[in-house]
A and B are shown apart, each in its own frame.
Chain A
């Protein structure tokens, strides 16, 4: 293997130098009963041809359905240039080379990425990315506890209308570190988060997701000011595409959000059956030392020429060990590069066109579906590119029938939000044409057994 340059002779020499009989002896510290002797259940390796066949077979199982699911991962058009550039040898590595003497191009790309994220979010500084949106929210909660010196309760208010997976991951990552999460309810009519907490309570931070999991636009100014008035920091969880048309979190309320995170998937990353994606994080400059992850800075070399290098490493795990700001600070280098190239190609105006198209398509979708008897929008609120539709019957069988017609009709909310009844979260990005939307409405009409409405929906201009 080219990645393991040591020959048997090298290994023998190294073992002799430290007086170890063999490599196994290096693991003596681990009790025998905890060690796995063989990898049971792991099949034999496949050659390239077999791998290609297997992956093609798996890809065929996915099919090419007409997709109306969002729920945290969004199908956007990805310009062909994005992955053509990402696939260049200089970028194409799962591991990000950080050595300043060898990686100026990569470091500059990360620096450009950080600059784009700060511009999108309206914040002072961004890190070089995190694993994904869910872990970024968890890291933001941990960071808020470090950063909010006025608070000692380690209490985070988390909206019920925030992404259920983000809430689960945050609970899992922070529970063992003494953080408590208190749920903020949402208003049944609007789907908006209700600020509600016992007055006088010590609150460390309030999470605000914009748009929230229902696609509904929160009153972020009021929520931000409400949180700040109680001494809490504001953690904004945002969709990067939406920031092209919505107010940047740095401008929310009187003082703006304190930490901004989200999933970067909409920026040039294919759905890929759920990942890998990347997470982004930005904050105010005053909290930069509490921010986890890598940061690339611009500096000058001995001759005064501009260059790029990692900065603020003194807080990281290779120096601070258990006291590091985070122990999952590795970024998702390749996906982050894709996001950077995507943003560079689209530009601010291009991203705004994508966002506006999403907005318009989703409005058309909601209108088309709401025309069917037994289907209506659940919330009367402004939205971005998703909406909750309420049905007069269980959503599961409806989705199965749509899938049989080649349509992924949306995300069934009944498991996470039983209180909403028969509710479906639908999404239309710029990838869904008027024809696609008409096809969905027609298929749904058929499934619901209302053939007359199907004709109407099918005839829409």
Chain B
């Protein structure tokens, strides 16, 4: 059973969203997703300032067996990316909800967060595979 923290929101495509105090959100991939991918060897992050639509491919997580897209869980503008991933992609494997965050977004529409899943709903999605 993978770890699904109750204080986060989730997308069906296995990204998590953390609301930050300044109104931006932090985005990463779930413990379930990192486990399915296996050891990550490279993470490609978007350019800061890039405007994303909900569902846009905005990052690539590459393991030894596959390179998978990370999709924007919300529409918004990229305000920060996790530069540490360039040298240490394994942070996503080790600490997917903490040091393994991928990017921070300023959401275009604050209300859009309502479309995301809560932990229980996402746990059911992840379990269904």
Indicate if A319 sits at the interface (CB-CB under 8 A). yes
State how many angstroms separate the Cβ of A367 from the closest Cβ of chain B. 54
Produce 1/0 per residue, A65-78, CB < 8 A to B.
Answer: 00000000000000
Indicate if B63 sits at the interface (CB-CB under 8 A). yes
Contact assessment for A315 and B67 in the assembled complex, using a CB-CB cutoff below 8 Å: yes
Contact assessment for B47 and A289 in the assembled complex, using a CB-CB cutoff below 8 Å: no
**Residue from A149, A150, A314 within 8 A of B67 (CB atoms):** A314
**Residue from A149, A315, A320, A323 within 8 A of B47 (CB atoms):** A149
**Residue from A149, A289, A314, A323 within 8 A of B65 (CB atoms):** A314
Contact assessment for A323 and B42 in the assembled complex, using a CB-CB cutoff below 8 Å: no
Contact assessment for B62 and A289 in the assembled complex, using a CB-CB cutoff below 8 Å: yes
Contact assessment for B63 and A323 in the assembled complex, using a CB-CB cutoff below 8 Å: no
Contact assessment for B47 and A319 in the assembled complex, using a CB-CB cutoff below 8 Å: no
Number of A-B contacts (CB under 8 A): 21
Within 8 A of A (CB), among B27-54: 41-42, 44, 47
Chain B residue with the shortest CB-CB distance to A149? B47
Q: State the interface size on chain B (CB cutoff 8 A).
A: 12
How far apart are the CA atoms of A296 and B69 in the complex, in Å?
A: 25
Please indicate the chain B residues that have their CB under 8 angstroms from the CB of A150 in the complex.
47
Indicate if B66 sits at the interface (CB-CB under 8 A). yes
Chain A residue with the shortest CB-CB distance to B64? A314
Please indicate the chain A residues that have their CB under 8 angstroms from the CB of B57 in the complex.
323
How far apart are the CA atoms of A182 and B57 in the complex, in Å?
A: 29
Please indicate the chain A residues that have their CB under 8 angstroms from the CB of B41 in the complex.
314
Please indicate the chain B residues that have their CB under 8 angstroms from the CB of A289 in the complex.
42, 44, 62
Please indicate the chain A residues that have their CB under 8 angstroms from the CB of B42 in the complex.
289
Chain B residue with the shortest CB-CB distance to A315? B67
How far apart are the CA atoms of A68 and B65 in the complex, in Å?
A: 50
Contact assessment for A319 and B66 in the assembled complex, using a CB-CB cutoff below 8 Å: yes
Chain A residue with the shortest CB-CB distance to B42? A289
State how many angstroms separate the Cβ of B103 from the closest Cβ of chain A. 14
How far apart are the CA atoms of A319 and B67 in the complex, in Å?
A: 8
State how many angstroms separate the Cβ of B38 from the closest Cβ of chain A. 11
How far apart are the CA atoms of A314 and B57 in the complex, in Å?
A: 17
Produce 1/0 per residue, A110-153, CB < 8 A to B.
Answer: 00000000000000000000000000000000000000011000
Produce 1/0 per residue, A314-349, CB < 8 A to B.
Answer: 110001100100000000000000000000000000
Chain B residue with the shortest CB-CB distance to A286? B86
Please indicate the chain A residues that have their CB under 8 angstroms from the CB of B63 in the complex.
314
How far apart are the CA atoms of A315 and B44 in the complex, in Å?
A: 12
State how many angstroms separate the Cβ of A461 from the closest Cβ of chain B. 62
Interface residues of A (CB under 8 A from B): 149-150, 289, 314-315, 319-320, 323
Interface residues of B (CB under 8 A from A): 41-42, 44, 47, 57, 62-67, 69
A-B pairs with beta carbons under 8 Å apart, 21 shown: A149-B47, A150-B47, A289-B42, A289-B44, A289-B62, A314-B41, A314-B62, A314-B63, A314-B64, A314-B65, A314-B66, A314-B67, A315-B62, A315-B67, A319-B65, A319-B66, A319-B67, A320-B67, A323-B57, A323-B67, A323-B69
